[in-house]
Structure 1
Amino acid sequence: NSNNNRRKKRVPKHFRSLLCVFLALKGTQITIQLRSNCEIYGTIENVDRHLNIELIDATITNRFGKDKYELLLVQSRNIRYIHIPDKIDLGHLLYIYSKTLSEVKRKNQRTLRKAP
Structure 2
Amino acid sequence: MNSYVSTSKERFFLYNTLAILLKAVEGERTTVELRNEASICGVVEQTDGFMNINMKDCLFTDPRGDSYKYEIFFVQARNIRHVHVPAHIQ
What TM-score, normalized to structure 1? 0.61
Which residue does 1:22 correspond to in 2? 22
Q: Percent identity?
A: 35
> 1:17-56, aligned counterparts within 5 Å?
17-56=17-56
Question: Hey, what's the Cα distance between the residues in 2 that align with 1:22 and 1:39?
Answer: 16
Structure 1 gaps, min length 5: 1-11, 90-116
Q: Which has the higher contact order (CA 8 A, sep 6+)?
A: 2
The structure carrying a bigger helix percent of its residues is 1
The structure carrying a bigger strand percent of its residues is 2
Question: Hey, what's the Cα distance between the residues in 2 that align with 1:46 and 1:57?
Answer: 13
Which residue does 2:71 correspond to in 1? 70
What TM-score, normalized to structure 2? 0.77
Please list every run of at least 4 consecutive aligned residues from structure 1 whose deviation after the TM superposition is greater than 6 angstroms.
none
Other structure's SS at 1:26 match: coil
